[in-house]
Amino acid sequence: MKRFLTVCGAACMVALWTSLAFGAGTIKIGGLFSVTGPASFLGEPEKKTLEMLVNEANAKGGVGGMKLEAVIYDTTGDATKAVQLATKLIKDDKVAVIIGPSTTGESMAVIPVVEKEHIPLISCAAGIKITDPAKRWVFKTPANDHVAAEKILNFMAKQRQKTIALLTVTDGFGASGREQIKALAARKGFKIVADEVYGPKDTDMTAQLTKIRGIKPDAIICWGTNPGPAVITKNVKQLGLKIPLYMSHGVASKKYIELAGSDAAEGIMLPAGKLAIYDVLPKSDPQARLLREYDHAYRKTYGMGASTFGGYAYDAFLLVTGAIKKMGPGTEQIRNGIEQAHKLVSVSGVFSMSPKDHNGLDLSAFEMVRIHKGDWSLLK
């Protein structure tokens, strides 16, 4: 009798959870993206990618026989709004999982909410502190910024460039990148000879660049997301600086080249996900086919090429649907399934998660590229 009651109680709990997380056989996936505002270049392709993938999945019968529904809100890049909307997704919309937010600051603000409510979150932001140390309910798809920083420094070492001028934005992404570069540089024998910053809304950085010109470093590393890096690229051109300029992966889209202008952007180097250069990858590359299919599908749906940033939502979608197929549609099942993802080929790389690693990417996630004639070329 006692065993019977225990089984009945468990069944009731499952039924209760199902009523909360589903609606008429539908799995609800929440989306928090900066669709408008300064970070719209991140959030808009993320939103479009998630919508496209949900539509494609439903056209094929859903996942495990259940339809998917994307419930997406625009955070405008505001951390306070992101927290409010995350709460709405959980309390009102009863989502089973949340993809996003788009930026590091928003993601850090939302973490306490999802940890308290036990809802898996897959951030589309790069800041290492999002998943380091690992939190039970939090994952992210962009490679950690220290991976991008190490990719740059490894390339610089080959060029025998030893002195570095830093120019980083004063937001979560910039602060994290600055911290990682300084730590890695110290371990690898580089010397930071200038450490300049700029604000997210600054429209001219000639003062910082003039200081850097006087110091004469071997290279400049700029860490930020548009529009700041585009402004810096123009300023470098205007000042006639001949110092090699490296950008972070935060500008790895054609939008950066468009904002900076192909003339000013010529020769700029940065670590980029393979989506940007999939057409020159060897056929043996495990990501090549998926990247081509994603770009072609995005072009067919929206009339434009896919971006690395939209790829972060693609990765999250594959992690979620893979978890559902493997473990089931419950929040705990989805969380466990994401954490157990192993050698999952996607847009940003090949993911292998673990209880201690909720990002699951390594140096192979990036290729070093140079901008040449308004497009990307591989650096060897």
Which domain CATH number covers 266?
3.40.50.2300
Q: Do 346 and 370 share a domain, yes or no? A: no
pLDDT, residue 14, reads 42
Residues 260, 106: Cα–Cα separation, whole Å = 26
Q: Would you call 53 helix, strand, or coil by DSSP? A: helix
DSSP lists the bridge partners of residue 72 as 31
**pLDDT tens, position by position, 288-332:** 999 999 999 999 999 999 999 999 999 999 999 999 999 999 999
Q: Do 38 and 132 share a domain, yes or no? A: yes
Phi and psi based region of residue 192 (left: phi greater than 0; alpha: psi -120 to 50; beta: remaining): beta
* CA terminus-to-terminus distance, the chain: 70
Q: Is residue 16 part of a domain?
A: no
Q: Is residue 17 part of a domain?
A: no
Q: Do 234 and 370 share a domain, yes or no? A: yes
Q: Do 260 and 299 share a domain, yes or no? A: no
Q: Is residue 12 part of a domain?
A: no
- CB-count burial class (<10 Å; 0-12, 13-18, 19+) for 291: buried
Q: Which of 206, 207, 258 is nearest to 237 (CA)?
A: 206
Q: Do 248 and 304 share a domain, yes or no? A: no
Q: Do 111 and 217 share a domain, yes or no? A: no
Cα separations in angstroms, 141 against 105, 119, 127, 318, 363: 16, 17, 11, 11, 14
Q: Is residue 176 part of a domain?
A: yes
What secondary structure does DSSP assign to 168-226, as a single string?
Answer: EESSHHHHHHHHHHHHHHHHHT-EEEEEEEE-TT----HHHHHHHHHH--SEEEEE--T
pLDDT, residue 252, reads 86
Q: Do 227 and 205 share a domain, yes or no? A: yes
DSSP lists the bridge partners of residue 123 as 140
Q: Is residue 225 part of a domain?
A: yes
Q: Do 191 and 326 share a domain, yes or no? A: no
Q: Do 133 and 53 share a domain, yes or no? A: yes
- For residue 281 the two structure tokens come to 């990858």
- For residue 22 the two structure tokens come to 């589903």
Residue carrying structure tokens 């600055």? 178
- Reported as type and span, the H/E element at residue 26 is strand 26-33
pLDDT, residue 126, reads 85
Q: Do 255 and 372 share a domain, yes or no? A: yes
Q: What is the pTM of this model?
A: 0.82
pLDDT, residue 279, reads 87
Q: What share of the chain is helix, strand, coil (3-state, %, to 5)?
A: 50, 20, 30
**Going by C-beta distance under 8 Å and a sequence separation of 6 or more, which residues neighbour residue 15?**
none
- For residue 359 the two structure tokens come to 């990002």
**pLDDT tens, position by position, 146-186:** 899 999 999 999 999 999 999 999 988 899 899 999 999 99
Residues 100, 215: Cα–Cα separation, whole Å = 40
Q: Is residue 11 part of a domain?
A: no
Q: Is residue 207 part of a domain?
A: yes
Q: Which of 151, 130, 274, 277 is nearest to 221 (CA)?
A: 151
Which residues constitute the domain of residue 73?
28-143+290-362
Q: Do 224 and 373 share a domain, yes or no? A: yes
DSSP lists the bridge partners of residue 46 as none
To the nearest 10°, the Cα dihedral for 47, 86, 340, 361?
A: 60
Residues 177, 271: Cα–Cα separation, whole Å = 13
Residue carrying structure tokens 């197929």? 325
pLDDT, residue 48, reads 98
Q: How many domains does the chain have?
A: 2
Backbone angles phi, psi at 344, to 5 degrees: -85, 110
pLDDT, residue 38, reads 87
Q: Would you call 189 helix, strand, or coil by DSSP? A: coil
pLDDT, residue 120, reads 98
Q: Which of 289, 353, 294 is nearest to 319 (CA)?
A: 353
Q: Do 37 and 106 share a domain, yes or no? A: yes
pLDDT, residue 147, reads 92
CB 7 within 8 A of CB 48: no
pLDDT, residue 10, reads 44
Q: Is residue 78 part of a domain?
A: yes
Q: Which of 33, 28, 66 is nearest to 49 (CA)?
A: 33
Number of Cα atoms under 13 Å in the Cβ half of residue 378:
12
Residues of the chain with pLDDT under 70: 1-24
